[in-house]
Amino acid sequence: MALWSKLWRAYRGRLRRRYLLLRAIRRRRRLTVVVDRTAQIGPESILLFATIRNEDARLDHFLKHYRALGVDHFLIVDNESNDGSREMLELAPDVSLWRTGASYRLHRFGLDWLTWLMFRYGHNHWCLTVDADELLIYPYHDTRPLAALTGWLDRIGQRVYPAMMLELYPRGPIEAQHYTPGEDPTALLCWFDAGNYTILRQEKTRALWIQGGPRARMFFADRPRHAPTLTKLPLVRWNRRWVYLNSTHSMLPERLNECYDQRGGEAPSGLLLHTKFLPQVVGKAAEEKRRREHFGRPEIFDGYYDGLIASPDFWTPHSRRLSGWRALEALGLMSRGGWL
């Protein structure tokens, strides 16, 4: 790429980043504090940011999982839950909570709200940004806390830790399963696709784009480029000048997206266990189709929602049963990348 093209691209990226930051700062007024415990945040606290709506079924395990990993404080935006989620979070001693009734879609699918909170509270902290149905795991996560991982990342000078979203599903029709709120969802959702993934590099952002898994196989076989993107950048040593560009799939400045090895080796990476396909997803799919808040062009995904409403069975004889992180690493789905 010619030098002038690189300079122009960098300039446009700076303008875009400043616009998104200013937009988030202006839209902070859409947030109302429910409970503010941010005084608990210390200089080395690991923070988690999330936007939720009606996640009562999985919130208890979500908090337990991330507390066990070593998250020190949760900063959560509730977008009009009516199932008891907000009341539950209000009582949690390590949660600061905001609420809003504004449109999730028109606020960059919640990113406007989280960008402001990260600008205000996340600077120079290791920050996790995840959905309520995403459980981060990484090599040695069962014996080493997040602080061990982030300490190593600091030592090697890596500020972004990527993770592929690994979509989990049960055996049998989704709605026929039984799940008790508070249980570990991976006890029920214990199957995954091991190898039907495609990877390409997005020239515009320099990010890797991974697609595949059960939703691509079941709902997007005839249009694979519309399948959900599985690449995410959930764990970042945050700087208030940075922004997520679209969900946590990519960031600005663009250089932050190049957290993979381009010389044929393996860079460190984890997995986000995606627990979307609990039995409750059938009713949620009908609600999401009606609300039309989850995609830039919702009408394109009506068939996808109809497929979920029909309570599909994702299981095939080629499905793999979830086991420990070493088996996932052996399949090439995550990597230690030099962390021993």
pLDDT tens column, 274-284: 999 999 988 88
Greater model confidence, 139 or 288:
139
Distance CA 330, CA 340 (A): 15
Number of other residues whose CB lies within 10 A of the CB of residue 195: 10
pLDDT of residue 307: 85
**What type of residue is 202?**
Q
Could you tell me the CA-to-CA distances from 19 to 15, 25, 108, 138, 202 in Å, in that order?
6, 10, 13, 34, 22
| Average model confidence (pLDDT) across the chain | 92
Average pLDDT score over residue span 197-222:
90
pLDDT of residue 8: 75
Task: Look at residue 264 and tell me whether its pLDDT is greater than 70.
Answer: no
Q: Give 131's pLDDT tier (boundaries 50, 70, 90).
A: very high
Distance CA 120, CA 106 (A): 21
Greater model confidence, 202 or 48:
48
Helix boundaries (H) for the chain:
3-26, 56-69, 85-91, 111-117, 146-156, 213-219, 281-291, 302-309, 325-330
Listed in sequence order, the residues at least 6 apart from 334 whose beta carbon sits closer than 8 Å to its beta carbon are 137, 138, 139, 163, 164, 269, 270, 271, 325, 328
Greater model confidence, 148 or 286:
148
| pLDDT tens digits, 76-103 | 999 999 999 999 999 999 999 999 999 9
pLDDT of residue 265: 65
For the whole model, what pTM was predicted? 0.94
| pLDDT tens digits, 224-244 | 888 999 999 999 999 999 999
Q: 10: which 2 tokens?
A: 């960098």
Secondary structure (3-state) at 191: strand
Task: Look at residue 255 and tell me whether its pLDDT is greater than 60.
Answer: yes
Helix boundaries (H) for 192-301:
213-219, 281-291
